[in-house]
Amino acid sequence: MQEIRRSDTRQMPRRRFLDRLLGVSVVGLATAVVYPIVRYLSPPEVPEAASNRVLAAKVSELEQSPAKIFPFGSEAGILIRSPDGEYRAFAATCTHLECTVQFHEPSKRIWCACHNGWYDMNGRNVAGPPPKPLERYTVQVEGDEIFVSRS
Amino acid sequence: MAFRGIGGWLDDRIGLEGVRRMAEEKTVPVHRHSPWYYFGGMTLFFFLVQVATGILLMLYYRPSSEEAYESVQFIVTQVPFGWLIRSIHSWSANLMVGAAFVHLFSVFFLKAYRRPRELTWLSGFVLLILALGFGFSGYLLPWNKLAYFATRVGTDIAGSVPLVGEFVLRFLRGGDHVTGGTLSRFYGWHVAILPAITVALLGLHLWLVQRHGMSVTPAEERKGGARRRMPFVPDFLLRDLFGWTIALAVLAALAALFPWELGEKADPFAPAPANIKPEWYFMFMFQTLKYVPGGEIVGIENEAIAILGFGAIGLLAFLVPFLDRGVVRVGRSPGFTIVGVAGILYIVLLTVLGYHSWVPAAAAAVLFLVPWLAGRGADSGREER
């Protein structure tokens, strides 16, 4: 009797000790399985395209049409020749929901077809849902080649 | 009270009570051959691991000849724990086929295929063939040199079967050659078609096991009297889970200590590397074909005869419940047992020759001797008591 009472009051009974040990082991095992899976599910950072400066177009291309979509890293950029002959480049990703914009020649504005968003020739959001202006890039003309870089 | 309420609500709709009663009533016979009962569950465990890791790999894998190798390279070098997931998938595939082979042979030797479990045998046999199909199709997916040439050889062998060979080869390759088209096709088989068939057949297989309960050997049946039985829940289930935990530990150790290699990217215009080899479970057939001299008998190539021979043996094994009349009539069929032992010895011997290594023989010895000795030990211990 005394034996049992002592184990009740001062010591942990063997059964409960083993149960806890088992519980800790099961939690440990579950963690060892779940942790790698959770880490695996989050994609690794892929380094951005190294080039911050790309050849966007030839001058001759923009003589035929006033705008061109060009690849800038993994995203699209848009290069526009304004009526006074100045080149302007913007990120072509609409600030609303990431569709790619296009140049709307009749109105001389930039248009996003997805939700009818409008930007002016300076990339400012002037109508429709876009919340912010388009990111503007720096344009350099070298001979016949037009380079665009992130400023 | 709330819990009972929810339980009752669910029971009204899906009949949990029946499941509970089934779990309570299910028992497992206890005798000297009981350890073999664990291998079916073990195979199932590895299959579940394959489903889980396979789905994870699909999140990053790209099935095209331009990107497949690079995407696997990305998985094993860039994705956190990607190397582990991929390594576990490869190792578990091999352990699954190994467990399935042990399961098949134990069922064969215990004559568990006899009436009324013929369909359980047939479905299990097809499941093994499907597992081999998973292995063959999955082997190509990393698009490395070894896999590329192994697939060329493997499909070429299938193509040498008389009459249907031409069709089979084009069907497998998705054209005349092993190309990116073959890769797409193998991917489709590996992640959609084979899983769909497997899940349906596995459902039938497991349902049949529940329906008929565990089989006991004819000798055990003849003893008559009250048989020792163990409740499935919790006694056998806990033992099963313990086995699964060990299996997971072995799997994790193998995957971490011996990460599966990726090799070099396949190049159709490079010479085949030395030592191209199939997965180990095809090795005995591959090695047999090496010993078959070129030539032909009555207009059929020797190689094709050997392949048809394997096909015929497979068909006979498939139909064994209907061929083994002895076990039904007099409760014994030693001839089948001897053929089974010969089959194991042949597979082990040819695998040893194929790898120039005794490891396959040692692995087979451990897999077959340990459960056998464990059963005998438990049995004699009980008799002494």
List chain A residues with CB under 8 Å of B60: 43
Asked if B174 contacts B140 with a C-beta cutoff of 8 angstroms, the reply is no
Mutate to test the interface with A, among B51, B55, B62, B79 (most CBs of A within 10 A): B79
Question: A39 vs B78: CB contact, 8 Å cut-off?
Answer: no
Q: Is the dihedral of CA B108, B124, B166, B176 positive or negative?
A: negative
Name the amino acid, one letter, at A31.
Answer: T
B253 membership: H or E segment, kind and range: helix B237-257
Quote the CA–CA distance of B69 and B263 in Å, as a whole number.
Answer: 9
What does the mean pLDDT of chain B come to?
90
Q: Model confidence over B77-89: pLDDT tens digits?
A: 999 999 999 999 9
Of residues A99 and B274, the one with the higher pLDDT is A99
pLDDT at B222 over 60: yes
Q: Model confidence over A29-66: pLDDT tens digits?
A: 999 999 999 999 999 887 665 568 889 898 888 888 88
Question: B79 vs A44: CB contact, 8 Å cut-off?
Answer: yes
pLDDT at B357 over 80: yes
| A63 burial type by CB count under 10 A (0-12 exposed, 13-18 middle, 19+ buried) | exposed
Mutate to test the interface with A, among B73, B74, B76, B81 (most CBs of A within 10 A): B81
Query: A26 to chain B nearest CA, in Å?
Result: 10
List chain B residues with CB under 8 Å of A43: 60, 79
The DSSP call for residue A94 is -
Q: What's the gap between Cα A67 and its chain centre? A: 24
What pLDDT is attached to residue B79?
94
Nearest to B30 by CA among B22, B39, B20, B38: B38
Question: A43 vs B84: CB contact, 8 Å cut-off?
Answer: no
Asked if B272 contacts B149 with a C-beta cutoff of 8 angstroms, the reply is yes
Quote the CA–CA distance of A75 and B167 in Å, as a whole number.
Answer: 46
Question: A44 vs B84: CB contact, 8 Å cut-off?
Answer: no
pTM: 0.88
B328 touches chain A (CB under 8 A): no
Of residues B123 and B278, the one with the higher pLDDT is B123
| Share of residues in chain A with pLDDT > 90 (%) | 64
**CA distances (Å), origin A33, targets A29, A38, B53, B75, B182:** 6, 9, 11, 18, 34
Q: Model confidence over B37-67: pLDDT tens digits?
A: 999 999 999 999 999 999 999 999 999 999 9
Question: A40 vs B78: CB contact, 8 Å cut-off?
Answer: no
- Tokens linked to B374: 């464990």
| A99 burial type by CB count under 10 A (0-12 exposed, 13-18 middle, 19+ buried) | middle
Asked if A113 contacts A99 with a C-beta cutoff of 8 angstroms, the reply is yes
Angle at the Cα of B12 (from B7 to B14), degrees rounded to 5? 85
What pLDDT is attached to residue B326?
86
Buried-state track B125-138, b at ≥16 Cβ within 10 A, e below 16: bbbbebbebbbbbb
The DSSP call for residue B191 is I
Asked if B91 contacts B255 with a C-beta cutoff of 8 angstroms, the reply is yes
List chain B residues with CB under 8 Å of A25: none
The DSSP call for residue A25 is H
Instruction: Give the model's confidence band at A5: pLDDT under 50 very low, under 70 low, under 90 confident, else very high.
Output: low
Question: A37 vs B81: CB contact, 8 Å cut-off?
Answer: yes
Quote the CA–CA distance of B66 and B266 in Å, as a whole number.
Answer: 10
Asked if B128 contacts B100 with a C-beta cutoff of 8 angstroms, the reply is yes
B82 touches chain A (CB under 8 A): yes
B381 touches chain A (CB under 8 A): no
What pLDDT is attached to residue A3?
52
Asked if A125 contacts A133 with a C-beta cutoff of 8 angstroms, the reply is yes
Question: A40 vs B82: CB contact, 8 Å cut-off?
Answer: yes
Nearest to B363 by CA among B355, A62, A141: B355
Residues 6+ apart with CB under 8 A from B92: B46, B49, B50, B53, B251
pLDDT at A11 over 80: no
Of B80, B85, B252, the CB nearest to A44: B80
List chain A residues with CB under 8 Å of B59: 41
Instruction: Give the model's confidence band at B385: pLDDT under 50 very low, under 70 low, under 90 confident, else very high.
Output: very low
Angle at the Cα of B208 (from B206 to B209), degrees rounded to 5? 65
| Share of residues in chain B with pLDDT > 90 (%) | 63
Q: Model confidence over B163-203: pLDDT tens digits?
A: 888 999 999 999 999 999 999 999 999 999 999 999 999 99
Quote the CA–CA distance of A63 and A81 in Å, as a whole number.
Answer: 8
B245 touches chain A (CB under 8 A): yes
| Per-position DSSP letters for B21-55, written without gaps between them | HHHHH-EEE-STTGGGGHHHHHHHHHHHHHHHHHH
